[in-house]
């Protein structure tokens, strides 16, 4: 009897090697999977079931050597392998199919084709050692004999059972995933409702706040900027917070250095330039005396235009100078350079006046140190104020005076212009009384005055109260 060992990557190739090398009369004595992953088959040629005892012992010794190399298996498993070498291979096939099958329909088709392909090879070799298997059964006790495993029909129930288990597990997993998805959906829907509710509240608060800011006369640009910077909480102090932040937007320049030195007042006709000069001069004379104060006018376009300024000079006992075609502004300024307060009045001209260019050129050529303030009446429309600022900005303005606060029904237009143009506010003038009705600018005072004015001139009196 010839015994040979065959190795191959899988059982199919191993069986083919046995069949090609030994022939259809080969008898498979054992098969095992090596640690390397290969399949090893021990096959015999000219196998005789009634071997002498010495030969049986030798074969037994050979099998024991292989047993030490392979994992310990149940005796019944080894006997089944000898009786039917394809049984172990078919069992491995079924296990592989159960692990990798994607769905029941494809598994049944692939199982039938794989089983049909490999069973044909296994049965070709199994038939050759049928007589040897029968002899082994006769020599073994009845208690050690086993039923041959089914090769075709007997395996179908096991495959169907595996498919049923796999389908049941997949169904359970899908149900669990469905529950999780439903939970996530419910959570997202709840959050969406909360976000919608919060957004609705915020929109309501913002709408109310915008209406109140609009009632102050503020432009949409300033109101939008303010709403973007403030997070409304729905509290009573929201309105006060908005007003405080609005005050921070207003540029002011009212320190001591800005209220002294050489100052020229410019602006359209009737905005209060001369009156503002009289108020500032009177306040200075009352605090520091008449020494160091001089009034200068460049208004030679109107008949007796400088008479009002001369009247202030006589009352305050301060000198008054007139700049005309026979004198130069810089020469007059140089004459009084050592004075602590030099106030220059200019002719009132609207932006379309042809003489405005000449006056602006004179201001541009004026000596350094002459501060130029633009007088803006709060009674004018926002677009009118913006046009005035644009025209007079040719002389590089240092600030502005907001006049006629007492005559305006809304201060928001003027406030919006100084914020949008970045023009600092130096003085606030709110009446005709000299010297009382003018004061250095304070942003919070201006906002308080704007709210007070809106409360008295607006139909939204109740909704504009602080904290409402």
Task: Return the pLDDT at 197.
Answer: 58
Contact present, 442 and 430 (Cβ < 8 Å): no
Task: List Cα–Cα distances, 113 to 102, 107, 108, 149, in angstroms.
Answer: 16, 10, 9, 19
Scanning the structure block, which residue is given the tokens 């307060």? 341
Contact (Cβ atoms closer than 8 angstroms) between residue 428 and residue 405: yes
- In sequence order, the 6+-apart residues with CB closer than 8 A to the CB of 454 are 215, 216, 217, 410, 411, 412, 460, 464
- pTM of the predicted protein model: 0.56
Residue 178 tokens read as 């469905």
Give the span between the Cα atoms of 63 and 68, in whole angstroms.
9
Annotated domain spans of the chain:
2-146, 155-205, 245-464
User: Which residues lie closer than 8 Å to 345 by C-beta, 6 or more apart?
Assistant: 265, 273, 274, 277, 295, 296, 297, 298, 299, 306, 309
The continuous run of DSSP H or E covering 321 comes out as strand 320-322
Q: Are 348 and 299 in contact (CB under 8 A)?
A: yes
Report pLDDT for 156: 54
Beta pairing class for 39-45 and 27-33: antiparallel
pLDDT in tens, the chain (468 residues): 678 888 999 888 888 888 888 777 778 888 888 988 889 988 887 655 544 444 444 444 444 444 444 444 444 444 444 445 445 545 655 565 455 444 444 434 444 443 444 445 445 444 444 444 444 444 444 433 334 444 444 445 555 655 565 566 677 788 888 888 888 888 887 777 766 655 556 666 678 878 888 888 888 899 888 888 877 766 777 788 888 989 999 999 877 666 788 999 999 988 889 999 999 999 999 988 888 899 999 887 776 667 888 888 999 999 998 887 667 888 888 888 889 999 999 988 888 877 888 888 888 888 878 899 999 999 999 999 999 999 999 988 999 999 999 898 889 999 999 999 999 999 999 888 888 889 999 999 999 999 988 887 765 445 444 444
CATH architecture of 245-464: 3-Layer(aba) Sandwich (3.40)
């Amino acid at each position: 009897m010839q015994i040979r060992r065959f190795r191959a990557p899988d059982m199919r190739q191993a069986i083919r090697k046995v069949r090609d090398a030994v022939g259809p009369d080969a008898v498979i004595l054992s098969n095992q999977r090596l640690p390397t992953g290969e399949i090893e088959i021990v096959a015999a040629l000219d196998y005789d079931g009634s071997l002498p005892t010495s030969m049986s012992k030798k074969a037994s010794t050979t099998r024991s050597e292989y047993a030490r190399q392979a994992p310990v298996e149940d005796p019944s498993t080894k006997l089944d392998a000898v009786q039917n070498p394809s049984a172990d291979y078919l069992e491995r096939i079924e296990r592989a199919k159960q692990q990798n099958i994607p769905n029941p329909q494809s598994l049944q088709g692939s199982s039938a084709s794989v089983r049909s392909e490999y069973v044909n090879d296994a049965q070709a070799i199994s038939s050759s050692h049928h007589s040897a298997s029968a002899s082994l059964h006769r020599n073994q006790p009845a208690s050690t004999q086993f039923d041959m495993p089914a090769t075709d029909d007997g395996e179908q129930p096991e495959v169907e059972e595996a498919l049923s288990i796999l389908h049941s597990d997949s169904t359970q997993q899908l149900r669990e995933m469905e529950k999780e998805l439903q939970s996530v959906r419910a959570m997202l829907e709840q959050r969406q409702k909360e976000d919608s509710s919060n957004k609705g509240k915020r929109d309501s608060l913002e709408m109310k706040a915008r209406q109140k800011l609009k009632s102050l006369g503020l432009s949409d640009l300033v109101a939008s900027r303010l709403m973007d910077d403030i997070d409304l909480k729905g509290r009573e102090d929201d309105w006060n917070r908005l007003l405080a932040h609005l005050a921070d937007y207003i540029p002011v320049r009212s320190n001591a250095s800005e209220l002294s030195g050489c100052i020229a007042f410019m602006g359209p006709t009737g905005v209060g330039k001369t009156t503002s000069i009289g108020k500032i001069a009177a306040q200075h004379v009352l605090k520091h005396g008449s020494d160091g104060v001089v009034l200068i006018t460049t208004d030679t376009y109107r008949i007796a235009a400088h008479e009002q300024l001369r009247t202030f000079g006589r009352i305050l006992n301060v000198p008054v100078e007139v700049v005309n075609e026979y004198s130069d502004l810089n020469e007059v300024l140089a004459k009084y350079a050592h004075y602590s307060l030099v106030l220059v009045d200019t002719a009132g001209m609207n932006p379309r006046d042809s003489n405005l260019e000449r006056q602006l050129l004179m201001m541009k050529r004026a000596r350094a140190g002459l501060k130029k303030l633009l007088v803006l009446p709060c009674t004018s429309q926002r677009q009118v104020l913006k046009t005035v600022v644009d025209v007079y900005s040719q002389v590089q303005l240092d600030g502005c005076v907001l006049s006629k606060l007492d005559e305006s029904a809304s201060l928001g237009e003027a406030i919006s212009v100084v914020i949008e143009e970045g023009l600092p506010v130096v003085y606030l003038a709110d009446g005709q009384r000299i010297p009382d009705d003018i004061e250095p600018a304070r942003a919070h005072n201006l906002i308080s005055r704007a709210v007070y004015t809106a409360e008295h001139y607006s139909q939204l009196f109740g909704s504009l109260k602080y904290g409402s």
